[in-house]
Amino acid sequence: MKITVVSAGAWGTALAAAFCGRHQVTLWAREADVVGDMRDLRENRRFLPGHRLPDALAIEGDLAAAVRGAELLLVAAPLAGLRSTLLALRQLGSTVPLVWVCKGLEGSSGKLPHRVVAEEMGEDFPCAALSGPSFAEEVAQGLPTAVTLASRDIEFARRIARELHLPRLRVYASDDLVGVEVGGAVKNVMAIAAGICDGLGFGHNARAALITRGLAEIARFGLALGGRQQTFMGLAGMGDLMLTCTGDLSRNRRVGLALAQGHTLEQILADLGHVAEGVGTAREVARRARELGIDMPITQAVDAILHHGVAAATAVEQLLQRDPKDEVL
């Protein structure tokens, strides 16, 4: 299969290199210096340094040339760039099926990625979301990873999952597109909370409690939007949550750690050098939860810390002072 990966961030680059072993893959980058490095040095020094790119991987800086002849587009742009990327593809007249790997809710609209795709490409456009517990660094190293590919068309999901499935990158099909997207989005908010918890020195007991109650929040939110309970127990739910809340490669967890140390959000994001999707997602999930009447205290606390000037220690203390309740999802 001819696959074009649109956007050469860390995740897009890692996936392009992985799929290159089985398919004919082109990786498109917007940045001229990134294109130059990948062509000349066979390395993405800006976004995925230290990993040599396969010689068979084609590098392209022209989007029209990159998508020409492709049978599948894998859109790896951050969520903030998803709509503009789709618009560019539509302007090129592309009707190629696509898979997106960004996670979150679109800023201001609060829409999940599949709604953005439907608005730009059409309600019946063949498409899917790829999500699950996966660090780009480990995929680039060839370490075993399992993810979920979700589409409302289960046969499309199964066909693309078979095409993308590799011995060390296992791809499972699902038709719960909403559940998979919600799990991938809200776990980033919980990872920021976990980083704050660890940064404040609250210990392993507190982290375990936070992850467990965070999963309950994810499930409540996802069920309200039409997701299925079982999805939140799987790779795109519990699996991704556990990885992102505990793994040191997690950008969102690192944001939380830095917040607990008293650094400003602006400083943290500048130092990070990559997108941390949980920052914007916290605002949108908190807003939608209020509109829908969903109880999401951890999300609300993270939003307060990130966007309303509340100190991390203060927000955590307020959580600890909440009245006890029955343990229910």
Neighbours of 141 (CB within 10 A): 13
Q: Tell whether the model's pLDDT for residue 112 goes beyond 70.
A: yes
In this structure, the number of other CB atoms found within 10 A of the CB of residue 27 comes to 29
Give yes or no for residue 108 having a pLDDT over 90. Answer: no
- 224-258: pLDDT as tens digits: 999 999 999 999 999 999 999 999 999 999 999 99
Closest alpha carbon to 177 in 201, 157, 203, 150: 150
What positions carry a catalytic annotation? 187
Alpha helices in the chain (DSSP H): 10-19, 32-40, 63-67, 82-91, 113-121, 136-140, 154-164, 177-199, 203-225, 240-246, 251-260, 265-272, 277-292, 297-307, 312-320
Which residue in 324, 277, 319, 279 sits closest to 303, CA to CA?
279
> According to the model, what pLDDT value does residue 69 have?
96
pLDDT digits (tens, 9 = 90+) for 260-296: 999 999 999 999 877 789 999 999 999 999 999 999 9
Boundaries of every domain in the chain: 2-175, 185-320
Q: Can you tell me the mean pLDDT for 199-208? A: 95
Question: Class of the 185-320 domain?
Answer: mainly alpha
- Give 328's pLDDT tier (boundaries 50, 70, 90): low
Residues with Cβ within 8 Å of residue 278, at least 6 apart in sequence: 104, 188, 189, 191, 192, 252, 255, 302
pTM to 2 decimal places: 0.94
List Cα–Cα distances, 218 to 25, 45, 81, 185, 223, in angstroms.
35, 35, 24, 9, 8
CATH class, domain 2-175, is: alpha beta
The contacts of residue 176 (CB under 8 Å, 6+ apart) are 150, 227, 228, 230, 231
Strands 48-52 and 2-6: unpaired
Single-letter amino acid, residue 229: Q
